[in-house]
Amino acid sequence: MSDAAHARHEAVIGLEIHVQLRTRTKLFCGDTVAFGGAPNTRVCPVCLGLPGALPVVNALAVELAVRTALGLGCTVHETSRFARKHYFYPDLPKGYQITQHDEPIATGGSLDIRRPGERRIRIRRVHLEEDAGRSLHDRFDGCTAVDLNRAGVPLVEIVTEPDLRSPAEARAFLDRLKQTLQYLDVSDCDMEKGSLRVDANISIRASGGASSGARTELKNLNSFSSVERALEWETARQARAVGKGGVVEPETLLWDADRGEARSMRSKESGSDYRYFPEPDVPPVSLSADLIASIAAALPEMPAAKESRLRASYGLPAGDASVLSADRHLADWFEAVAQQTGDGKASSNWVLTHVLGWLNQRGLSINEIPFTPARLAELIGLVLDGTISVTAGRSVFREMAESGKNARDIVAARGLAQVRDDEQIEVWVDTVVARYPDEVMRYRAGAAQVFGFLMGRLMKESAGTADPRRASELLRRRLDE
Ligand code: ADP
Ligand code: MG
């Protein structure tokens, strides 16, 4: 898009996000939920849609949906209902999807993003629905096969208001949403396994003005960067169409990540095309105020709250708190270290630099770390109290991480403890003063910078083990005699 078109138009974006809830079984039957596996092995009369089969709602799915909704600040309704949404597709054996329509489980929440100022994005609704099966187009020549293992897997759909104003903002929202869902522990949020799927609605309007109306919906967005790219592409396409005096047709577009373009899939269905009607076989979901309150009381601290608490309680700079709180487990790990060392900033430095560096090199997550926070805290303590130097600390860290041994044992075995014994340090002072008489004379004649050279010799003489602070005191005392 040209700069001029950018200036004239602004994007209006709303997202619909499907999140697979981490239940053991499906939404309306006891079939196991798992990724992959032989096709059509986790199916039963209910998810196959056989006549006479009766769906029964999975209580854990309901609870996780409530957790999701409360975490997004929504109002959870004591009564919600399921409906049938009809459409014909080979992977939909019943000919309809059981979803929530005009009485969803929750409405009216919000999520704040930082861009860089705070922006509040409203959440219109959160509802429960079952997933469809999967069409496999690559198994047999010219045929499409259907795998119904995924049919009936529980999803929540999260629908935003059209409050997002740029593709980058949509991306920031998705990052924040994923982080929030991970904090809530309602889903593994793994996009590669389809646990988190995004559809994006977009229209353009004159900057700050009223919407020009028609919007399109982008599907087949397999990563957050695809969402952002597809929205960039579609903003430009709509701006060109309007710029040429044309109109944007409401339609559903499929994003092709390899070609970097979208193509039309169909003109957009309206609600009436689905012939929604109440699901007669599933009674309304009825939640007591007490149950909702108890789920609310058990919610974890949310990312933004954790971030500000880390800053306040441990005196951390904003950057540290933001990285540490990106992952709830990382933040917990850091806190365990900091509580033991009593030094927040030093603990944060060690976790952000050494722990994250070590994990990143190995492609590991904080949950896979082979040593405990207490082990790292012990090592940090040895550096803070001067038992070992910072340099020795780094090397002890590597050995500790690889071998699982504790820091004290490594320090003892490798003789890394700093020497703070005056008698021993005086021996090194004697050696250096005797070996460099010219430098000593120059220092005494006023060349203060020679001190650094002599100090370097002393450290070398001690093979790096002299406690630098004490060594420098004793050397200076001797030279100033
Ligand atoms: P439908 O009833 O067709 O599903 P909704 O009005 O419920 O449409 O909105 C579906 C999604 O489209 C929501 O995420 C919403 O934010 C988004 N949306 C609504 N109006 C617009 C618009 N003018 N431009 C972009 N997105 C929009
Ligand atoms: Mg939907």
Is residue 132 within 8 Å of residue 151, measured between CB atoms? yes
Q: Terminus-to-terminus CA distance in the chain, angstroms?
A: 76
- pLDDT level of residue 463 (50, 70, 90 thresholds): confident
Sign for the pseudo-dihedral over CA of 460, 463, 469, 473? negative
Q: Which of the listed residues 16, 99, 177, 201 should we mutate to test ligand 1's pocket, taking the one with most ligand atoms within 8 A of CB?
A: 201
Contacts of 5 (CB under 8 A, 6+ apart): 236, 239, 240, 243
- pLDDT level of residue 84 (50, 70, 90 thresholds): very high
Is residue 95 within 8 Å of residue 88, measured between CB atoms? yes
> Which residue is closest in CA terms to ligand 1's atom 7?
159
What distance in angstroms lies between residue 184's CA and the mean position of ligand 1's atoms? 26
Inform me whether the pLDDT recorded for 42 exceeds 80: yes
- Judged by its nearest atom, the ligand closest to the C-alpha of residue 163 is 1
What distance in angstroms lies between residue 132's CA and the mean position of ligand 1's atoms? 22
What distance in angstroms lies between residue 201's CA and the mean position of ligand 2's atoms? 12
Average pLDDT over residues 206-233: 89
Please give the Cα distance from 372 to 407 (Å, whole number).
Answer: 12
- pLDDT level of residue 270 (50, 70, 90 thresholds): low
- pLDDT level of residue 211 (50, 70, 90 thresholds): low
Q: Please state, rounded to an integer, the average pLDDT across all residues of the chain.
A: 93
What distance in angstroms lies between residue 250's CA and the mean position of ligand 1's atoms? 11
Inform me whether the pLDDT recorded for 3 exceeds 90: no
> Which residue is closest in CA terms to ligand 1's atom 6?
161
Provide the pLDDT for residue 6: 52
- Judged by its nearest atom, the ligand closest to the C-alpha of residue 270 is 1
- pLDDT level of residue 389 (50, 70, 90 thresholds): confident
Is residue 19 within 8 Å of residue 196, measured between CB atoms? yes
Please give the Cα distance from 272 to 274 (Å, whole number).
Answer: 5
Interval 167-193: pLDDT, tens? 999 999 999 999 999 999 999 999 999
Name the more confident of 36 and 113.
Answer: 113
Residues having CB within 6 Å of any atom of ligand 1: 12-16, 159-162, 201-203, 211, 215, 271
What distance in angstroms lies between residue 154's CA and the mean position of ligand 2's atoms? 13
Pairing status of strand 134-140 against strand 196-206: unpaired
What distance in angstroms lies between residue 162's CA and the mean position of ligand 2's atoms? 15
Provide the pLDDT for residue 212: 66
Provide the pLDDT for residue 1: 45
